[in-house]
């Protein structure tokens, strides 16, 4: 955690002269549940929120937190990344993300991530050299596709798959979660974002999604 905080601080100092061109944004959300890669994190309602600082150069830094039903505290993430356009239709995003669990720091892990977006499709990956709860190296690959069905209604489709170098260590914690899928209907009303999601995974663990329905109400700040 010290490393990523130091990196974020250094990046902020390096861009201090361009502070007037920085865009600060925030968000807060309340969901009926919080699933991460097909695994239930909150066991029920979850409150989350975060802040981002984006610079004209493409550099961004941010933090995000959510309530959990394990550990003696929330999940608290920090990230730094860079995004830009390759052509008018193709963009990219790369970065480093630290997942923190202040109530039990032995669960902490880091990832590097990258994605390419074209038209309405995003293809991405995330790699950790030692995943959640010291379960070893993992690689997560995913595809997202979204489209509008009406002026204020859109559909998002997601598929992700994770592979672990140490299958036994990973399975002992997650119950052999491999693939996760979701379909999300998004709309807005009264200045609030509203998402309805169906989430599924092919894992065998007790916390794996089994055609779960969630609703999330969010507000941009």
| pLDDT score at 73 | 84
Q: What is the pLDDT of residues 60-117, one digit of tens each?
A: 999 999 999 987 789 999 999 999 999 999 999 999 999 999 999 999 999 999 999 9
What are the C-alpha distances in Å from 213 to residues 43, 48, 151, 197, 216? 13, 18, 24, 6, 10
CB burial string 124-163: b at 16+ within 10 A, e below: bebebebbbbebbebebebebeeeeeeeeebebebebbbe
Other beta carbons less than 10 A from residue 216's beta carbon: 19
| pLDDT score at 104 | 93
Q: Which residue has the higher pLDDT, 131 or 206?
A: 131
d(Cα 112, Cα 98) in Å, to the nearest integer? 9
Average pLDDT for the chain: 91
Share of the chain above pLDDT 70, in %: 91
pLDDT bin (cut points 50, 70, 90) of residue 207 is: confident
pLDDT bin (cut points 50, 70, 90) of residue 177 is: confident
| pLDDT score at 18 | 45
Can you spell out the DSSP letters for 110-175?
EEEEEEEEETTEEEEEEEESS-GGG---EEEEEEEEEEEEETTEEEEEEEEEEEESSHHHHHHHHS
Q: What is the pLDDT of residues 102-134, one digit of tens each?
A: 999 999 999 999 999 999 999 999 999 999 999
Domains of the chain with CATH codes: 2-220 (2.40.160.40)
What are the C-alpha distances in Å from 195 to residues 44, 62, 67, 121, 213? 16, 23, 18, 19, 11
| pLDDT score at 20 | 55
Q: Could you tell me which residues come within 8 angstroms of residue 75 by beta carbon, excluding any fewer than 6 positions away?
A: 41, 65, 66, 68, 99, 100, 101
Global confidence as pTM = 0.89
Report, as an integer, the average pLDDT of 42-51: 96
* Positive or negative torsion for Cα 139, 70, 219, 38: positive
């Amino acid at each position: 955690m010290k490393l990523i905080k130091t990196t974020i601080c250094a990046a902020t100092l390096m861009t201090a002269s361009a502070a007037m061109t920085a865009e600060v944004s925030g968000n807060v959300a309340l969901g009926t549940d919080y699933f991460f890669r097909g695994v239930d994190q909150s066991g029920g309602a979850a409150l989350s929120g975060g802040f981002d600082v984006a610079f004209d150069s493409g550099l961004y830094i941010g933090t995000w937190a959510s309530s959990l039903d394990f550990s003696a505290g929330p999940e608290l993430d920090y990230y730094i990344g860079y995004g830009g356009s390759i052509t008018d239709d193709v963009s990219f995003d790369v970065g480093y993300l630290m997942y923190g669990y202040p109530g039990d720091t032995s669960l902490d892990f880091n990832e590097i991530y990258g994605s390419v977006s074209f038209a309405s499709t995003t293809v991405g990956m995330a790699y950790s050299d030692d995943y959640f709860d010291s379960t070893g190296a993992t690689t997560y690959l995913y595809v997202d596709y979204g489209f509008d069905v009406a002026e204020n209604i859109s559909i998002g489709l997601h598929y992700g798959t994770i592979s672990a170098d140490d299958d036994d260590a990973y399975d002992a914690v997650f119950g052999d979660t491999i693939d996760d899928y979701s379909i999300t209907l998004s709309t807005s009303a009264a200045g609030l974002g509203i998402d309805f999601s169906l989430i599924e995974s092919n894992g065998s663990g007790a916390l794996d999604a089994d055609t779960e329905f969630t609703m999330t109400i969010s507000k941009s700040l």
